[in-house]
Structure 1
Amino acid sequence: MFSLLFLATVVALCVTDAQPNEENALQDMQKKVNDLWLSLLYPQLYEDIVASNRTAYASCLVKPSPKVGADKPQVTGHVLFRQAYPNGKLEAIFNLDGFPAGANLSGRAIHIHQYGDLSDGCDSAGGHYNPFKENHPRHPGDFGNFYSKEGKIKKYKANLVATLFGPYSIIGRSVVIHEQEDDLGKGNNKASLENGNAGKRLACCVVGTGTKNLWERQFPEVKEKRKKMRISFCMLSRVTKMP
């Protein structure tokens, strides 16, 4: 198996040196290399992707950290992921509940962490997943700040840097919801460049492979919300342009 992986790597390196007029043939070769790599290392995931119209799905069932006191938000919900194989951008749906229902609330940071180990609550999930040894907020899975409304966070994000497949897959790692707002690396201290000074870990979950069922149940609501926002924006634009 390792000899095949070595061969696949060599082919992939040759692809990067190709001439523009060979683009179509080499894209097909790259696809075959990706298929070989995935089918050898993660055969069940590869079968799931092929069965789902070459799309990978993953889900993460969020539960409160057992170390969070009763006076803190008890956050529950789902984080869902979808990504077209092999070159699609990662999409995510964040559907969380349990936040305070008041007004003028600060944002909550959400990040991918190194380990899928929740044996010591969210604390054993390790630090940020940072395979490229970059400063925060340039880690795969630095998802930024989320703002609750009526105690809930319902948010769709596209074009995320993290991935479900390849050597830097986030499958088996954890999603952590923090108590505080992410300072996006502007806090002028070491912690800011490591984790955005996001504070305690309120809740977490382990990212696992999934089917399209839960995504397809929740995505229509996302599309309807986005449609209403576009309509509202268009109406506002027309009003502002009126003499």
Structure 2
Amino acid sequence: MVKAVVVLNSSEGVSGTVSFTQEGDGPTTVTGNLSGLKPGLHGFHVHALGDTTNGCMSTGPHFNPNGKEHGAPEDEVRHAGDLGNITAGEDGTASFTIVDKQIPLSGPHSIIGRAVVVHGDPDDLGKGGHELSKSTGNAGGRIACGKYYWPSGLSKLGCALYLIMACTAFPAFTC
């Protein structure tokens, strides 16, 4: 089993943790607990870069290794990082579980070294007809983000090799 954790923080008061686990080549289970959100739906995505040096804007676009249009988590055509929406209750908290096959924690399309971003508005899942629907889901501003911690079970050498690969493949990655 491989595990990763993201700690989300923002200047807007949103905070929490999101855990990712994957058994072998099976789907990845995402479990999160966030607070400080406005009540309602919020777009929730894996973004391509783990760079948060300029806040959430430096995380790049949605993780999209196959070059597809934006869509819903259940759509065949979608960015790998399109995880849909999370729902915050009246108290501003969101607790959620997502199971997804397109966000592995190892292999050539691993999400380790990338970022999770929570958006201020609902993701229209590519179906809203807005000019941004097919690229971002028109999910609004990036209100919280965090970078994946290294997965459990990797040796120091494994982490060092992974960092070298990530820095080579993604020059904007913070090395």
State the TM bucket, normalised to the shorter chain. Answer: 0.7 to 0.9
What residue number does 1:123 align with? 57
What residue number does 1:108 align with? 42
What residue number does 2:14 align with? 75
Q: Which residue, out of 112, 132, 156, partners 1:191?
A: 132
Q: Normalising by structure 2, what TM-score?
A: 0.79
**Unaligned stretches of 5+ residues in structure 2:** 72-77, 154-175
Following superposition of structure 1 onto structure 2, how do residues 84-95 of structure 1 map, counting pairs within 5 Å? 84-85=23-24, 87-95=25-33
Provide the identity percentage.
Answer: 37
What residue number does 2:108 align with? 167
- The CA distance in 2 between the partners of 1:136 and 1:61, in whole Å, is 25
- Aligned residue for 1:147, secondary structure, equals strand
* Structure (1/2) with the larger strand percentage: 2
Q: Which residue, out of 62, 65, 70, partners 2:8?
A: 62
RMSD: 1.5
- The CA distance in 2 between the partners of 1:78 and 1:164, in whole Å, is 17
- The CA distance in 2 between the partners of 1:188 and 1:147, in whole Å, is 22
**Unaligned stretches of 5+ residues in structure 1:** 1-54, 67-72, 213-243
* 1:159–1:118 Cα change, 3 Å: closer
Contact between 2:112 and 2:151, CA under 8 Å: does it hold in 1? no
- The CA distance in 1 between the partners of 2:93 and 2:101, in whole Å, is 22
- The CA distance in 2 between the partners of 1:203 and 1:110, in whole Å, is 10
Q: Which residue, out of 104, 110, 119, partners 1:178?
A: 119
* Structure (1/2) with the larger helix percentage: 1
Instruction: Please say which structure displays the higher CA radius of gyration.
Output: 1
Identify which of structures 1 and 2 has the higher relative contact order when contacts are C-alpha pairs closer than 8 Å and 6+ apart: 2
- The CA distance in 2 between the partners of 1:158 and 1:187, in whole Å, is 24
